[in-house]
């Protein structure tokens, strides 16, 4: 079969992305206006519909999850780009996951079933189950991403007075990870609440006085007044299933292992 006849990646409308991510329509429009997100196909002109890839929808999903926790839309967008999520989002693209599952262990095959089976999944992924998918925010200020089941690495600090984010690493790597060499960057870096010197790639922020790595197997071992824990594995599974219109009924609580309906 010629390459031109091969099906392209799945693309989704604004309405599908909004329904899957919980991002309000006005907020999605603001992100587009800022250059904070760039769809695969722009809208307008003779009924041309704006379309999004799974990868782009997952990026919107992260921003939506953070905004739902009370961060401003621009702050949520900025934090999303400070998190090392490029590879993780690939795993949750159904087409990529199917390829990887051929060489994956049972956990990888379970993920493909959660993403693609029409029936209600037997269970949902727990925190830290897949890659660095658990995010901890201590005191609404220190942002950590898990590097293993027991370790969380500091990735950014929020300066609430200045409404700026101090990243540990240049988030340019995340911007580049969302595209290929032939495409322009997926976002306008001026949409990020990060000082220019941290976007140059020449300076690495050292956050003095903070633990660069925290080690814990239980959240109650972390000493802080407030703790936000995000399970992006679960958020991504719900997002991808809703994009595809698959049966998705989720209630928070303890993990259950009931038979599929």
Q: Over the stretch 197-242, which tens digit does the pLDDT of each residue have?
A: 887 655 556 666 677 888 877 788 888 899 999 999 999 999 999 9
- Token look-up 């050292």 returns 206
Which stretch of DSSP H or E encloses residue 239?
Answer: helix 232-243
The whole-angstrom separation of Cα 67 and Cα 117 is 29
Please indicate, yes or no, if residue 109 is contained in any of the structural domains: yes
Q: Over the stretch 6-20, which tens digit does the pLDDT of each residue have?
A: 456 789 999 999 999
Please indicate, yes or no, if residue 261 is contained in any of the structural domains: no
Please indicate, yes or no, if residue 77 is contained in any of the structural domains: yes
Confidence tier at 103 by pLDDT (50, 70, 90): low
Give the side-chain half-sphere CA count within 13 A for 148: 7
Please indicate, yes or no, if residue 254 is contained in any of the structural domains: no
The whole-angstrom separation of Cα 141 and Cα 176 is 26
Domain count, the chain: 1
Please indicate, yes or no, if residue 15 is contained in any of the structural domains: yes
The whole-angstrom separation of Cα 41 and Cα 46 is 14
The whole-angstrom separation of Cα 211 and Cα 141 is 13
Please give the residue that has the higher pLDDT: either 74 or 46: 74
Average pLDDT over the chain, rounded to whole?
83
pLDDT, residue 260, reads 42
Please indicate, yes or no, if residue 259 is contained in any of the structural domains: no
The whole-angstrom separation of Cα 40 and Cα 44 is 13
**Minimum mean pLDDT range among 35-39, 113-117, 159-163, 252-256:** 252-256
**Minimum mean pLDDT range among 1-5, 64-68, 77-81, 232-236:** 1-5
Neighbour-count burial for 153-181, b at 16+ CB within 10 Å, e otherwise: bbbbbbeeeeebbbbbbbbbebbebbeee
pLDDT, residue 127, reads 84
Integer distance in angstroms from the first to the last C-alpha of the chain? 38
The whole-angstrom separation of Cα 245 and Cα 25 is 19
Please indicate, yes or no, if residue 257 is contained in any of the structural domains: no
The full DSSP string for 98-123 is HHHHTT--HHHHHHHHHHH-SSPPS-
Domain span including residue 199: 10-243
Please indicate, yes or no, if residue 248 is contained in any of the structural domains: no
């Amino acid at each position: 079969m010629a390459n031109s006849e091969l099906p392209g990646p799945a693309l989704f409308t604004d309405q599908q992305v909004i329904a899957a991510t919980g991002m309000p329509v006005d907020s999605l429009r603001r992100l587009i206006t800022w250059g904070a997100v760039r769809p695969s196909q722009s809208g307008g002109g003779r009924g041309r519909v704006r379309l999004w890839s799974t990868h782009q929808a997952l990026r919107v999903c992260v921003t939506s999850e953070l905004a739902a926790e009370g961060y401003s839309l621009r702050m949520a967008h900025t934090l999303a780009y400070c998190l090392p999520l490029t590879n993780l989002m690939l795993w949750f693209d159904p087409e990529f996951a199917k390829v990887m599952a051929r060489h994956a262990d049972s956990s990888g095959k379970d993920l493909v079933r959660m993403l693609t089976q029409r029936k209600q999944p037997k269970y949902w992924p727990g925190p830290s189950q897949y890659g660095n998918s658990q995010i901890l925010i201590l005191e609404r200020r220190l942002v950590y991403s898990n590097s293993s089941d027991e370790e969380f690495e500091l990735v950014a600090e929020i300066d609430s007075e200045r409404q700026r984010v101090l990243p540990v690493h240049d988030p340019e790597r995340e911007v580049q990870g969302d595209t290929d060499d032939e495409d322009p960057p997926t976002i306008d870096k001026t949409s990020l609440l990060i000082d220019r010197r941290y976007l140059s790639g020449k300076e690495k922020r050292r956050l003095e006085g903070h633990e660069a790595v925290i080690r814990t197997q239980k959240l109650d071992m972390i000493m802080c007044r407030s703790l936000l824990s995000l399970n992006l594995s679960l958020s991504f599974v719900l997002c991808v299933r809703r994009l595809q219109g698959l049966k998705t009924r989720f209630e928070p609580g303890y993990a259950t292992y009931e038979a599929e309906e």
